[in-house]
Amino acid sequence: MAAKNHWIEDRCAKAFWGQHELAPFRRLVADTIDWAAPAADETWLDLGCGGGTLSRALWERTAGSANVVGVDCAAINADRYAALRQTLGCRAGDGPHFVCHDFSSGLALFADATFDHAVSGLSISYAESYDAAAGRWTTEAYQRVLAEVCRVIRPGGRFVFSVNVPEPSWARVGLHSLGGVFRSARPLLFLKNAWRMGAYGNWLKREARRGRFHYLPREEVVRRLQAAGFGSVECRLSYAGQAFVFRALKPVVGGASHAR
């Protein structure tokens, strides 16, 4: 089924580059990185990386020793990563780097256990799959990406990711973000990007209501993580109460696993 995909558009990607100025998003990033607890010399996958906010946080938290690969379907994010490496003072070939790929199709470009751990920020809900025979959108791609992340991280690895709650309130996120306009070095651009993110957010909710995207209840996400092969699962609220942050562990062979 042909359907408009704003995620691959430069304009959409650039609108979300300004998320780091929003207080709820900064809280979400902090909650994600705290649970990720990156250590020196680890390899990390940043799935649906956008402009690289989580990639940067992983790099900085490990004093530049983490090997971070960002994956996103918007090609323009390659420019953002190039600018990020320059800002961080990375040497040639060093620092977080970008791969343009739509993870709805899986992660076949990576071998088993390529990464120690993985993170993702408000992205995996947008894995999409359409069943032409049945004439409807399905959750097949959503389930596939969970299984693929489990495959590409090592046993004992962590997947720390955020997804929006069912029927998220963008107005509540906006209300908690109002102070950002006064702190922004470019307040007019801040307001313009906030308006664009709101417009794209309305598109996302419309598509979710017809089954294309997936804002699932906490219990359903836990069930799907277990079905994908993860063991211990933890969850907390963040993003002005509009997102869940999950930490799921890939079991070590022969080790115990549980969910809570």
pLDDT category at 258 given cuts 50, 70, 90 is very low
Model pLDDT, residue 182: 52
Q: Tell me: pLDDT of 249 over 50.
A: yes
CATH number for the region 6-249 comes to 3.40.50.150
Model pLDDT, residue 198: 74
Q: Tell me: pLDDT of 206 over 60.
A: yes
**Least confident segment among 13-27, 74-88, 117-131, 177-191:** 177-191
187 vs 126 pLDDT, higher one: 126
| Ranges 49-63, 91-105, 181-195, most confident | 49-63
Model pLDDT, residue 205: 95
pLDDT digits (tens, 9 = 90+) for 136-191: 999 999 999 999 999 999 999 999 999 999 999 988 887 766 655 556 665 665 55
Six token digits for residue 44: 């990390």
Domain boundaries, the chain: 6-249
**Locus of tokens 């307040």:** 187
Model pLDDT, residue 250: 98
Model pLDDT, residue 72: 98
**Mean pLDDT rounded to a whole number for the chain:** 91
Model pLDDT, residue 180: 53
